[in-house]
Amino acid sequence: MNVYQQTLAEPVTCTGVGIHSGEKVSVTITPAPSNHGITFGRTDLPGTTAVSALFNKVVDTSLATVIGQDGFIVSTIEHIMAALTGMQIDNAKILVSGYEIPVMDGSALPFVKAFKKAGLVFQDAPRYYLKVTTPIELSENDKELGLYPFDGFEISCEIEFEHPVIGKQKKVFALNGDTFETEIAGARTFGFYEDAKKLQALGLGSGGELTNCIIIKEDRVLNPEGLRWADEFVRHKILDCVGDFSLLGLPVLGRFTAVKSGHAFNHAFLQKFLASKEHWETHTLI
């Protein structure tokens, strides 16, 4: 884990389509000063101010994590936020040419590769962490989330779908070194063929295709290249969790356990966690 804050050495630009809008969109990530955090702005809406990537700016979690303020939104931020967190980038200004971050190949890997190509630099400010001091849990029906003291950052994630292609999967991931890039970043978003058709009928999911999403139909994966890992589905859920949990605003020293969670439940847990100050403290490694 980093002792000092980190940002990009130079700007990077990624271009793709929005998975729901189907529109071509460009996103530019630029270096930012110490203690700036992560902010999003819209180049297609001149005059609007940037919105911070924080849990209290979340305005929708139905299909993706959406933040907004003052009448504008930035949608589907979880993959790029996961890439920033996985690369331990604390400060960046993100400008997007539409309301939705491009889906790229359905994973966080294109963003990770772009950040690595740009290079990273340490800054003259200590990196602050949210250190978990006592356990905190949230449950609702068959969904569970917990955060426990741990000297590092770890996620144990479990999913279960009544479908032969997915079934029950569980994986434990610890963020250290290049593990995010090699184990999690390349896991793609997934969906069912029938659900995709329903979304498209509602004018959503227009950008979803086999080049940026795993599509499951009946008892098979339609993507000709198949899966990147046999458990790619639970790996992608971990990716989503990393992105959603980053909206705490500071990296976490703790161990998450997630069972059948999603964007909405993740957000509810963040609200409970930050309101329960007896369970955590700010901490540096200096």
What's the CA gap between 52 and 50, in Å, rounded?
Answer: 7
Dihedral over Cα of 72, 77, 83, 84: its sign: positive
Active site residues: 263
- Which residues on neighbouring strands pair with residue 93, listed in sequence order? 30, 39
On whether the CB atoms of residues 255 and 131 are closer than 8 A, the answer is no
Give a three-class secondary structure readout of the chain: CCCEEEEECCCEEEEEECCCCCCEEEEEEEECCCCCCEEEEECCCCCCCCEECCHHHEEECCCCCEEEECCEEEECCHHHHHHHHHCCCCEEEEEECCCECCCCCCCCHHHHHHHHHHCEEEEEEECCEEEECCCEEEEECCEEEEEECCCCEEEEEEEEECCCCCEEEEEEEECCCCHHHHHHCCCCCEEEHHHHHHHHHCCCCCCCCCCCCEEEECCEECCCCCCCCCCHHHHHHHHHHHHHHHHHCCCEEEEEEEECCCHHHHHHHHHHHHHCHHHEEEECCC
